[in-house]
Each structure stands twice: as C-alpha cells, then as structure tokens.
Structure 1
Amino acid sequence: MKISFNDVLISVPLYQLTFLTVFPQEEIFYEHITTKILDEWSSGSTLLVVKTKEEWNKLNDIRITNQVIQRPNLCAIVVCYESGHYFNREALETYQQCQIPIVQINNVHLIEDLFEATQPIFHYNNLSLELDGFYKRGFMDIASNLSLAFHTPFLFLDDHYELLWHVGSPRNVSDCIQWLHTNQQTVNMMVEENQKNQFQANDALPYELYTLAIAGQAQLILVTDSGLALWQKRIIDKLIGFTAVLFQTEEVIRDQNDRFKESFMYELFYRKFESKEALVSQGKAWNWNLEKPHHLLVIEIEAMTEETNKDITLLDEIVFHLETRKSELERPLIIISFQEHIIILIESDEYHNMQRNKKAAMAVAYWAEQEMKSIQDQYNAYIGIGKWYKDTIDLNKSYQEAKMAIRFGKVWFEQQRVFHMSDLGVVHLLSNIDQDTLFAFCKDYLAPLINSDKLYDTDYLLTLKNYFHFHGAINEVAESLYIHPNTLRKRLNKIEKITGFNRQNFEQLLTIMIAIKIYYSFT
C-alpha cells in the first residue's frame, strides 16, 4: 500500500517541522519504512527514518552517504532532532545536489505515531499545544524554512501594500516587488476576491496572494509564487491560520511589528541588501525615505558608575526625547534604538559634497550630545559617525565604521566624545586591519608586560596608557596613578628593561604607544 508522505507532513505541527532540503512539488509516496541505513531494503519505495545516534553518524559519513544516494528506491529521509546530532555541510550538500528530500521532526514519539498510521492524524485537543509551539519558535523562522523548502519568496505586506518583511532569494524578491508595483489594479482585485472567499488561483499570474484578517483591526497580505502544489498550499494555509490566531491581540501585533522592524534593521546594518528597491520598499512601512543617501551616527551610552546600569528603557527614553526635539534641526532624521545603541540616520542630498554632509552630521552629533546631557547626567555618551555614502545600500559599511570610530576614539582621543571616522587618521587605517592581526602585533611588543600584570598586578600597561595620555608629564602621570613621581620613574625604567624599548627613541616610543592604544581598544 502506497502512503502519501506529503499528507503525513501536513499532520506534523509546524513548529516541529523543518525542511532541510528543497522539496519537489510532486507528491511523494512510500510503501516501506526502514530505520537502518545499511540493512537490506525492500524493493518498493522506501522512507528512511533516522532516530538513533548510531544511524545519525552513518548518515554524516560521506562514504555511506554515497551509498545511500545510489539506492534507487529511496524516496525521502526523516531525521529526529532529539538525537542531538546535525548534518555536516558536505553530507547535506550531497543530498541536496541529488535532490533527496530531507525533513527534520523534533519529536521522536510523534514520528512513531505518524508513520505507523495509515491515515493522516489530527487531534483538535492538540491545537493549543501547536499554537504555543508556533509562538515560541516564531512565525518568521517557520516562514523562512517554508520559503526555502518550497523555493518561493514570501513577502508580507500591510493593508497599504507596504512591505513589512520578506524572505527568499534577492532576485526573486526584487522581481516580486516590481510586479506588485506595476500591477496595482490586479493586486487590488486579487485582495478583494480573497476577502470575499471568491479568489481562484490563476496560474497565468506569476504570484498568489493570501490575506490574514487580524481581529478586525488590520490585515496582512502574504505573497508567494503561483503554481505551488496543493500539499504546499495546505501547509501555507496552516502558517496563515496560526499566524492570524497569534496576532489577535494588539500587544502581539505590536510585538510582531517590532520584530519585523528589528529584522529589517539587522539586514540593513549587518548585511547588504542586494536590491535597493526592496530596501526602499520595506523602509516605507515605517515612513523611512531611504531613496536618498543618509549619514549614520551611532550613540553608545556608558554608565559613569558601576552602580548605574544602562537598559533598554533608558535607550527608549532617550530616543523619545530626541524625537520630540528633532524638529529644531529642520532636517529629516530617523532615530531608533538597535541592540545596545541608538542610531540616527540623517537624510542628505546627493548633490551636497562630502565636507558639507560631514559638517551637517557633526552638528547633529553635538546637538544629540547636548540633549542627552539635559536628561541624563549619570551617563557618558559617545558618538561615532561613519563615512557618507551616496547609496543607502551601503549603510552597513557606515554602521560598522561608526562603531569602530567609538571603539578606537575612546582610547586614542580620551578628551573627546564625538568621533568621525575620517578624522581618526592612522586609526582609520588600523580599523581596516583584522582583529587577530592587531592582537598579534600587541603581543609582539607587550607580552612581557601583559604576563607581569596578570601574575603580579604590576600595572605596567596602565602606567604606559597614562604616560601617553598625559604626553609623558611625570607629575601628572604619577598623580593619576596615585604614586610618587620617583616611583613612576623606577617603574618606567623597569618597563624599558623588560621590553627592551627606549623612551628616547622616537620610533620605538611610537611603536609601543600604538600597541598600547590597540590593546586598550579591544580590552
């Protein structure tokens, strides 16, 4: 008797289901189940179910992998997460290249129940458990996995057709956005028919729309490729149903919008959008005009005492204050909290030269510094400014530069609070060298001092740090270390003896100074 593997998958709770390879649209049928990779298999189509550590190890052995992929009656593989093992990349890529469907199911007992049954299993009393699991895993993670498995982009739009979140290959997402913009009348008709439950899938259209009604308050729209198989649409229906139920409260809607925004900011600042069109379209969901170039500032809040800790509430309070005061500048600003920083994006015109844009960014930085002092005096605020780029698609570079400007600026220019990347001189050059190389440089010159401080609390590194900070003024350095000037002189002589460097030799002094500055930039 042939059993539909796809029907079985539809019975699996979405939060326990992860597709590890792209699945074919055609329905998969199996006649036999085996849990042993190297045993003799029956002649009919066979489903391999891996539940033990021993079988997992075999599945990851590339020699055995080559045997498995040559079995003509293998139709699919099911693996169980509870074994605590994962596929190694080489093995998984081999299965993917051979187009072998692989799915992961988290619950080993569920696997046994599902594959021993001859009909799909569904119990309504499990709905609450499935909804709870769906909430904990998060619909964005589940949607991302389905997009990968079904080889289709997923685009979530608000009721004004603004892009909230997307997943899929950059090219497919960009093509979909372009189609939505150029076929607005068709999209309106599809949404209206969907709301009336009159929508009929039209394979002549490249995309299909699903609407999610949220407690009568709002509406989300999911866009996918058209032409998906019926079993794929049934799983997407489950995704839509649980998502709609999940969003029934205003608090959850707000929380999910925050997640959309956080995901967008992560893509914006840590990666690079392949499509500016997708970047601009998604930014419009929060009324951000990312068509124009922006200067980027990062604000880092540092507690002045150990008893005072910064928290998310403080960042939100500062963002709110700056938002209420930004009209003074008569310049469009985007002010947001992201991770442990506050970020300000300053809209600029393309025809302005770099110096003019830099001057405008510095003015905003000093304005923000003064505004923060007016509401919080127990914190130090450091502001880093990245370079100006003509295209907003390069904001990820500017973000990393702004953070690096703070990291190095705090150590190299201790009297300042605002650091522009282009003003850091040699530090600008150092920021482009990888961290391991910089650490190796420090160890070459400071290793004896690092070891001595660690073993004997000699404070040699701090002594040199203060020595360079006060430009070698013995009395000021001694006062900062709470020691007598003669004690300082003896300590400096000891440092020279340990390291072999001579303070009277300018090149040696410069080398040690750079090593000390780098060391304190990363510790």
Structure 2
Amino acid sequence: MKLVELLDLPVFNGTALIAGKQGVEREVNTVNMMDAPDIIHFLKKDELLITTAFHFKDDFNSLLELIKEMEKQGCSGLGIKTKRFLQEVPGAVISLANELNFPLLELPVQTSLGDIVHKSLSYILDIRTNELHQAMQTHQQFTNHVISGQGIHKLLDSLSSLIDLPVVLLNHHLQPVSKHGHHSSLFESLETLSASGQSFYLPETTMSAFSLRNETRETISLFPIYTHQQSSYLGVFGFIPLSNRSMILTIEQATNVLAFELMKENALKQNTRRIQNEFFTNFMNGAFSTTEEIISRGKEFGLENEQKYVCAVGQLNDETKTVSFMQYQSEQELIYNTIESELQRFHEKIHFFTMDQSYVLLMQPNGGWKEVEQPFLSLLKAIQTKISTYFQEDLSFGISHYAEQLIYVPLSYKEATDALYYGNMSGKKQFIKSYQPKEVPEILRMVPYDQLKKFYTDTFQAFANESKKDHQVLLHTLSVFLETHCQLSETAKRLYVHRNTVIYRLEKCEEIIGRSLKEPDETLRLRLAFRIKALLQGNSDPAQT
C-alpha cells in the first residue's frame, strides 16, 4: 500500500509530514521500529522506519547519513518521535529530505511506537489477506472457464471485465492471436518492434512487465506467460503500475491459468499435426492403393479432389548447428508456429504439412495463377524474412506447376522438390525457384563430364580418319541436315550448295558410320552428340568446330 494511505490510519493522528511530501506515493510493505546505531543494515526496500532518534540526539550527521542510506535502499520513509530525546528535527535534516523527496514524519509524543507498528502491520496484513483471497477467487473463476471448455477467448473477456481494460494474447513474436481494431496502430508498433529482431526476456521480478507507448501515446503492458516453449505474452492496453497489487495479482492468476491452457492446446495441436503429416507422407509415398481412397482420406483434412493446388516446399540450409536434440526440436516447433502464423494472414487457403525436414505449403487458388502469383511470392518472402530475423536461418522454396486435381499433388510435390534441388545446386541461399521443364542441355549437364566426352568420342571417332577439311565439311553438313528435320532442299539452301552435293556428303557420312541416317535411333544419337559437343566446347552452335 502507499504511504499516504497508511497515514490515514487513526494511529497516525497528530503525525506531521514535515519533509519529502512528493514521496508520499511510495510503497509500504512493512513497518519497523529500531533504535540501534547500525540500524541501516537491517532495513529493507519499501520499509517504513519509526524511531525515537535516541542515538542521533547528539549526532545530527549520523541522522543525515541514515536518510541518505535509506533513500539508496528504497525505504518508504522515516518517522521520528520528537519531544523525547530530540526536541525538534534539525533544519539540515528537513532540507536533505526535501532534496531527496524522502518522506520525513514527525510523530506525536502521546502515541506509542509499539501501537504504530502493531496497528500498521495489522492493516497491511489485512490488505494482503484480502488480496490473496481475491486472487484465489479469481484463479478459481479462470480455472472454471477452462474446465467448462469455454476456452482462452472467454478467459480473456472475463479478465478484461475484472480489470476494466482491453486485453489480448500475443505469441512469442508479439503477434496477436486475436486483434482489436481500435488498437490497430498499437499492433503496428508491436510488429515493428518484433520485426527488429529483438528478443523479449523480461526481468525476474514478482510481476515482470514490459510497457510500450507509440506515437499516439497508446500504452500496452506485456506480462509473460511461461510455458515449455518461449514465452507468450498477455497484453493489457494501459499502463499497470507496480503499486496496483490487486490488479497485478488478478493478471498473474490469469497468466498462470493461460499457461496451462496453452500447454494443453499445444499438446492437442501437436497430435493433430502428427496425424496430418502422416497422411501427407503416405500420400506422397503412394501408400493409398486407389483414387477413391485418396479422395476419401483427403476430405478428412479439408482437401477436395476437384480443386487446383500449387505446392511450395521449403527447406532450411543444410549447415549443421551445434545444438542438442531438444534445442533442435524446440526451434523447429517455433519455426513451424512462425510460418503457420504468417499463413493465417494470406487471403487464399493454404494447407501446411511437414515431411522429411521440409515445410510443405499446399495452396488452393480460387482464380488463375497470375492473380495469386505475386501475393504468394510476397508471402514466401515474408516468411523467409521472419525466419532469418528470428532464427538466423536461411529458408528456400521450390514452387510447382498447377495440380489440376488432388490426385496429381504428388507430381506437384516432386516438381517443387526438384525446383528446390536445382536451386541448391546453383549455390544460392534463401531463394524462391519455380519449377521449369528441363531442356536437353539441362538434362545433359546432369551427366558426368567423362561420360559425356566418351559418348561424343565414340559417336564421331570414325570421322577422324578423314582429312581435317573433309571432317569439318561432313560434320557441318550432317548437323544442318539434322537441324532441318532431314530436309534435303532446306539443307542445300542453308549451305548454299546443290541438292546433289548434300546427297553425296550424306552418303559419305553413312559410309563412315556404317549405318543409315533414316534410322531414328541413329539420328537421335547424332543429335545428342552434337548437343554434347556444344556443351564440351562451350559453343552455342553445334555445327561449328
């Protein structure tokens, strides 16, 4: 309670506040009576000392030092019973107390110091008992909300009514679980603070709180809710002073009940996630034998067959971190929660799964891809930024083509993982890569260099017996012939030679390789060899040597 409230007790009748009037709002947790010379070593914070000043009647300097030390320790004030050993409080003492805003009381001679201590402590204890009783009732009320299945939102509404201030539940990134529109600017300030990458660890006190005021002078007080994970926060719209013990106890009871409810909800959520991920893993691995089974099981998780899907697969970089298994599991859960929180803001429905240490986003676009492409890419970039800021991890995504129906989602998943693979092969980090159908040169680049070179050498080694000039002419003619889809007239036109010349050269090529150019397998082999030659030489023109 405050000192000014304590002075209203009848036992303080006749007491005069002779200095430090601006300090009457100080908290008083206990009242002590001592006259020992080393009295300062036994005092505590928020303690009011009353004394006859017997040891200071001839040593005013010691009294000055006592007041200085009491101010340093955060004591509530000093009451001196005058007209006994000290006829009046010296002016220097009053001046010092005023300078420090330290309350200095002049107690009446007729009042017993023992009565002051006894009645003051009795009054303080009565208040603490009432506060404890109220806290127990509040805790029981909040517990009943949870036991009856009314949930967290009902509990928050009840707390808001008790303290007459709006409240909101925030996650560990200061993102609201439910928003109140008239405080939107304050939420923007919270999100800005959260996006700065700061960690929010509050001081270890009886009531840990963090207050934020934005440019419009709105204030929110944050109270940590300790669970097995990183803390969530209970936000109260308004400044809650430490001296308001009744409100603080009420809020503390709410945070205690909320902690258990959040842990219960998390356990249920974890079980739901496990079931969803098992279904998705079995679906991708072809564990369902019929289309009907896929459609039936998909409906259990809100997946309709006659619906388009776009699959995005995300993975963290593969750099190993020296953390324990429990730390790894905890971080993965927090990353999952962060991604899930961002997905809830997106205007299209997105199903979220995990598989093989990948984060799988299955979006159901209502319109065409062009309408949702940029918003979806912006969402993925926002997720990357959050993961990088909060966890110092690089998250990359591969995106598939449309799956026209649910039964084709495994193909989309493979496309997304392929896009992710080729993005990683390029050496990039924190990228977003869409799946592209593979061109022949891309496929050839996947074959080891030595094997490509051997295939090329084996195909064209028969031409090595010809002179260098004939070698070049024959291969160039053969290349153009194949590129023109084996059209003699078009080949002659491009080479600026007579049609018969082309026929002669091609017959010469058939003689050298010992096979007909009309055989599809042979023309395919020669086409691939020319493509490989361009790769080996870094030349875009396969006919040029």
Instruction: Give the TM-score, by structure 1 length.
Output: 0.32
Structure with the greater relative contact order (CA < 8 A, sep ≥ 6): 1 or 2? 1
